[in-house]
A and B are shown apart, each in its own frame.
Chain A
Amino acid sequence: MQFGRRSFLKMVPAAALTATGTGTVAGLWSSAARAAEPLRVGSILSVTGPAAFLGEDMKAGLELAVDEFNAAGGMGGRKIEWTYYDAESQTQKGITATRRLISQDKVEVILSGGNMSGIALAMAPITNAAKVPFISSEGALAIVTPVAERQYVFKSTVDDGDVLERIADYLDKKKIKKVALIADTSGFGQGAVGQMKIVGPKRGLDVMYESFAPSDTDMMPQLTRIRDAGAEAIICWTVTPAGVVFLKQAQQLGLDKKTLIHSYGFVSADYMKLAGDAANTLLLASLKLPVGDQLPDSDPLKAGILKLMKAYEARFKRPASIYAAESYDAALLAREALKKVGGDVSKLTQGMEQIKDFPGISGVFTFSAERHSGLSKQDIVLVNWRDGRFNLADYA
């Protein structure tokens, strides 16, 4: 109800202006009213529950984007009116809140889907059936595939397959063939296992698989098996503190002399501090954001990253994370798509599919009618942890 009143008030000056103007046609009134009407944007985030540590950053990313865009005239010529609901890391809550956004709040675009792949996966068919464009900042590739059933769904995150391809490039360079992938049993970990089973054979890697529960505090059995199998590189895939256990116990077994790689889910200064000197030899396959200032000036992302970092830190008093960048990117993409179709929300999906080589924060986005996931392996770099910060270790 609040929206109705507010938008009505905004329409009053436009109507008054038209009424006092001499000889204005009725059409002008409606176009003026339409321009004054805000663009209704909705988001589902999990700012409580197990996924809250991502949700807070994603919410901050969207808040920043909405305010920045509104200060610069909004999206597609309309101010943004942003509604968000907390899914509490629960799929059912996410589904109900999505229906509320669509039917009750009548949002025209949805950005971010609960910061859990499970929630975004449940939302995708609903938003698609309602023909409301949904730009997901969640990871799973199945959110946007098959494209025929996901015409209104896009995602602003990198695909695990691309990250693994990028890691394979690095291993190629180091002439490493024998690899272990130790992943947690969450959707994030198991998604990577599924992708590795495609990427591994394609790149001629000999991969062994181990897994652990996100709450595990001991991985000695898995790591011992990996050591005995003689893997030259060990890739760990988790967003949970169990990744610290992995580092410490790998060090105890002397595996830190091998190549240890963590995924982009573990790029967190807190985790690195917890791991202490066990993180010394670690590499992380990361988006470029944490090493933005060390990128060569020719990098198309550098300027955008530095600008976001500065604005984010000034407002939220903490450094921007890659998660904040993912939701910020979802908003950037929606604005760019609307620009391509002259602000017509009903054509936003066509606009998204026209986006080519567009530098966001997480990477350079290219979408097409066949591919609704915009990033590529070029957006991944390898970083290490030295002197209390992340540093660029392998650029391309």
Chain B
Amino acid sequence: MASIEAKTGPMTHSRLPQRGLSRHARLALVWLALAAVPFVVPNAYWISLANLALINLVLIASLNLLMGYGGQISLAHAGFFGLGAYASGILNVRYGVPPWAGLPAAAVVAGLGALLIGIPALRLRGHYLAMATLGWNAILVVFFTQLVGFTGGPNGLLGVEPFSIFGHALDTEAKAFPLAWAVAFFVMLAISNLLASRIGRSIRAVATNELGAQSLGIDSFRTKLAVFVLSAGMAGIAGSLYVHINQYASPETFGIAPSIMLLVMVAIGGAGTFYGPMLGALIYTAVPQILLDYEDAELMLFGLGLLVVLILFPRGLAGIPAALTGLVRRRRA
């Protein structure tokens, strides 16, 4: 079982960028560059894709925190995403709570959802943990589908309001972009700061060698639980963004299949790398759009692409430069 955790957390490659610019300056530069997106893309459809990519980034980066750095597997991430979306959406539709209050509420509800399952499930490891979280996701979908009075059931939650600033609704793609951009920035900043902190070091220590970490006085169970809850809370934030930007949510968006895809995207981007999730989010958002033109072959091409990347570059796309330099070095030797 321990071997699986070791595989999902390639710790030797999880150093934060240290040379040159500070990690904060790097992140700020990347985000300043991203701010140009709405001005360079041709139309609102592209901006909507950018918004979706930023939401996906929050999802994948938070799962990467859990998986890549924390060494835990979760197949319930889309479920926590859904908890956040429905919490924020239901508060808004049924109780008139403004989206700004729904956003933190979504994080809290998703975090509580993770706490509830985390306390029993995080005592499991590897396959068993994956199974337990998978089951939890399935249960959440049943709730989303069956609590028709709250969630709108299979037909989805209708009439969700968009975010608004001083009475001005952020109801178009271009207006919603700055919000998604800012929220994604704060999530990335939070992850970066967390990893650099004492807790971040504990998280990685537990992932690398749980017994070793315990012998150094780290409470491994509480550390795992904390990172699990934090990661779910971030997924909840993504859910709140999603429901208010789309003004709609329906159960199948939060099912097991998206949970598996998110996991794959963490691996594709490069588990345990800070900027890997950006590549994962880009691919998760863009590739299905490109493949729309290939109709029936779409799913096959997507699956084939995933296989190729995972077989050739087991450390994900972010690991390609390292893989290539390694190859060159071996040739020279």
Which of A62-70, A74-82, A117-125 forms part of the interface with chain B?
Answer: A117-125
B250 touches A125 (CB 8 A): no
B155 touches A118 (CB 8 A): yes
Instruction: Return A127 CB to nearest CB of chain B, in Å.
Output: 13
Contact of B155 (CB < 8 Å), options: A47, A95, A191: A191
- Number of B interface residues at 8 Å Cβ cutoff, please give it: 32
Contact of A104 (CB < 8 Å), options: B45, B158, B172, B299: B45
B192 close to A (CB within 8 Å): no
Given A96-B49, A118-B250, A142 contacting B154 (CB threshold 8 A): no
Which of A84-92, A153-161, A324-332, A380-388 forms part of the interface with chain B?
Answer: A84-92
A18 close to B (CB within 8 Å): no
B153 close to A (CB within 8 Å): yes
Given A86-B292, A91-B252, A122-B246, A99 contacting B173 (CB threshold 8 A): yes
A178 close to B (CB within 8 Å): no
Instruction: Return A199 CB to nearest CB of chain B, in Å.
Output: 18
Report chain B residues within 8 Å CB of A140.
155
Interface residues of B in 45-69 (CB under 8 A from A): 45-46, 48-49, 52
- Number of A interface residues at 8 Å Cβ cutoff, please give it: 31
B210 close to A (CB within 8 Å): no
Contact of A97 (CB < 8 Å), options: B173, B248, B292: B292
B252 touches A90 (CB 8 A): yes
Report chain B residues within 8 Å CB of A10.
none
Instruction: Return A64 CB to nearest CB of chain B, in Å.
Output: 18
Contact of B253 (CB < 8 Å), options: A47, A91, A103, A191: A91
Instruction: Return B242 CB to nearest CB of chain A, in Å.
Output: 9
User: How far apart are the CA atoms of A191 and B158 in the complex, in Å?
Assistant: 14
Report chain B residues within 8 Å CB of A104.
42-43, 45-46
Contact of A185 (CB < 8 Å), options: B154, B173, B250, B296: B154
Chain A 93-109 interface mask (CB, 8 Å, partner B; 1/0): 10111011011100000
Chain A 171-194 interface mask (CB, 8 Å, partner B; 1/0): 000000000000001110011000
Chain B 220-259 interface mask (CB, 8 Å, partner A; 1/0): 0000000000000000000000000011101011000000
**Nearest CB to that of A93 among chain B residues?**
B288
User: How far apart are the CA atoms of A48 and B302 in the complex, in Å?
Assistant: 14
B154 touches A118 (CB 8 A): yes
Given A86-B295, A89-B252, A103-B43, A96 contacting B48 (CB threshold 8 A): yes
Interface residues of A in 21-35 (CB under 8 A from B): none
Interface residues of B in 111-153 (CB under 8 A from A): 145-146, 148, 153
B289 close to A (CB within 8 Å): yes
Contact of B248 (CB < 8 Å), options: A88, A93, A125, A186: A125
Report chain A residues within 8 Å CB of B298.
48, 86, 88
Report chain B residues within 8 Å CB of A142.
155, 158
**Nearest CB to that of A122 among chain B residues?**
B248
B104 close to A (CB within 8 Å): no
B158 touches A121 (CB 8 A): yes
Report chain A residues within 8 Å CB of B52.
92, 96
Contact of A91 (CB < 8 Å), options: B44, B45, B171, B250: B250
B253 touches A90 (CB 8 A): yes
Report chain B residues within 8 Å CB of A90.
252-253
Contact of B48 (CB < 8 Å), options: A48, A85, A103: A103
**Across chains A and B, which 10 residue pairs bring their CB atoms closest together, nearest first?**
A103-B45, A187-B154, A103-B44, A187-B155, A103-B43, A104-B45, A122-B248, A118-B250, A99-B48, A91-B250
Residues of chain A having any CB pair with chain B under 8 Å: 47-48, 85-86, 88-93, 95-97, 99-100, 102-104, 117-118, 121-122, 125, 129, 140, 142, 185-187, 190-191
Q: Give 26 CB contacts A-B under 8 Å.
A: A48-B296, A48-B298, A48-B299, A85-B292, A88-B298, A90-B252, A91-B250, A92-B246, A93-B288, A95-B246, A96-B49, A100-B289, A102-B45, A103-B173, A104-B42, A104-B43, A104-B45, A118-B154, A121-B248, A122-B156, A122-B250, A142-B158, A185-B153, A187-B154, A190-B148, A190-B153
Known: A99-B48, A118-B156, A129-B172. 10 other contacts (CB 8 A): A90-B252, A91-B156, A95-B248, A104-B46, A122-B250, A140-B155, A142-B158, A185-B146, A186-B154, A190-B148
